[in-house]
Amino acid sequence: MDHNLQIGEATFHVRTEGDGSPIVLVHGFPLDHHMWDGVIEPLAEQHLVIAPDLRGFGQSTGDHEFFPMEMLADDIAAILDHLDVAEQVTFAGLSMGGYIAWQMWQRHRDRLARLVLLDTRAVADDEVQARARRVNAESVLSSGMGEVPGNMLPKLLSQSTRENKPRIAQTLTEMILRQNPRTVAAAQRGMSQRPDVRSWLPDIKIPTLVICGQHDLISPPEEMRELAACIPGAQFVEVPHVGHIVPMENPEATCVAILPFCADLE
C-alpha cells in the first residue's frame, strides 16, 4: 500500500506491506525506497514492512538547504506516529540510513526494538571528505544529476555486479537520476556535518545486526566488523561478491540475514 503523509510542510511517500512486527527500511544516498524492492515482499511474509522515501527523495517533498541527520530521524518518528505504529520497530538503515539510525538511537530509542545496520559508518567525515561533499553539493546544483551515476556506481556496486547484473546497474542509475538536485545537495551538507558516534556504540543495548558487502569500498568489511565488535552482542554478516548496496545486489542474502535475526519478533 502506498501512503502520502502530510507532516508539517513536507509530504512523505511511504510504502507498507505485510503484517506482523514492524521493520522500517531506510534507504541510502542518493536513492529512494525502491532500493529495497527486492526484499520488501519476502520480509512482508512475516512482518509489517515500512519503506519511506526520505524528505525530498523519491516521491516525498520537503525543501531545505541542509538536511541534518537528526531531522531525518525525527521525520521517521513522525511517520511512525502518522501510521499509528505504536509497537517498537526493527530499524534497518543502509549507508545514510545508518547515519539516521544513530540519531534514532540517540533521540527516539524508545521506538526501537532492534537495529540492522547495512554498509554504513560510525566515524564522521574528515575535513577532506567533508569538503568533497560540499563541492559535490554545489556541482549538482549547477550541473544537475547527469554525471552522478557515472561517478558513484563504481563505489556503490561491486565489479561483479556491474559486469554480471547490468539490470541492477541500470535500475540504480535511473534511481539516482530521478532525485532532486536540491535534495541531494542538502543531504550532502547534512552528512558532511554528522557526528562521530563511535563513543555511542558500547551503550547500544538492543539487538543489532551489522551487514556488509565483501567488496564495499565506502564502508569496508574490516571497518564494519570493528563497528559491530563495539556494540554489545552485535552480529556481523559479510555478504560475498557484492559492494555497498547489498539489498539490491543480493536481496536473497539480505533476507536470509534479517529474517532469522527478527524471528522472535513475529
As a whole number of angstroms, the distance between CA 112 and CA 115 comes to 7
Number of domains in the chain: 1
Digit-coded pLDDT (tens) for 145-166: 999 999 999 999 999 999 999 9
Percent of the chain with pLDDT over 70: 99
- Strand order, beta sheet including 2-7: 2-7, 10-17, 48-52, 22-26, 89-94, 112-118, 208-213, 235-239
Digit-coded pLDDT (tens) for 94-110: 999 999 999 999 999 99
Using pLDDT thresholds of 50, 70 and 90, give the confidence band for residue 64: confident
Nearest to 187, CA basis, from 100, 250, 76: 100
Strands 208-213 and 112-118: parallel
Nearest to 101, CA basis, from 112, 85, 86, 88: 112
Is pLDDT at 265 greater than 70 in this prediction?
no
Q: Residues 248, 171: contact at Cβ < 8 Å? A: yes
What predicted TM-score, i.e. pTM, was given to this entire model?
A: 0.97
Using pLDDT thresholds of 50, 70 and 90, give the confidence band for residue 63: confident
Looking at residue 74, its pLDDT comes to: 98
Is pLDDT at 132 greater than 90 in this prediction?
yes
Using pLDDT thresholds of 50, 70 and 90, give the confidence band for residue 263: confident
* Consecutive H or E run containing 6: strand 2-7
Using pLDDT thresholds of 50, 70 and 90, give the confidence band for residue 126: very high
Instruction: Return the number of other C-beta atoms located less than 10 Å from residue 250's C-beta.
Output: 23
Cβ neighbours of residue 143 closer than 8 Å, sequence gap 6 or more: none
Is pLDDT at 198 greater than 60 in this prediction?
yes
Which burial class, exposed, middle or buried, applies to 162 when counting CB atoms under 10 A from its CB (0-12, 13-18, 19+)?
middle
Is pLDDT at 255 greater than 90 in this prediction?
yes
**Residue with cell string 510542510:** 9
DSSP H helices in the chain: 37-44, 69-82, 96-107, 127-143, 148-156, 159-164, 166-177, 181-192, 221-230, 246-249, 251-261
pLDDT (mean) for 244-249: 98
Digit-coded pLDDT (tens) for 187-197: 999 999 999 99
Is pLDDT at 266 greater than 70 in this prediction?
no
Looking at residue 108, its pLDDT comes to: 98
Which burial class, exposed, middle or buried, applies to 95 when counting CB atoms under 10 A from its CB (0-12, 13-18, 19+)?
buried
Q: Which three cell numbers stand for residue 103?
A: 540519531
Q: Residues 14, 2: contact at Cβ < 8 Å? A: yes
Its domain, for residue 225, covers 2-265
Distance, first Cα to last Cα, the chain: 21
CATH of the domain at 147: 3.40.50.1820
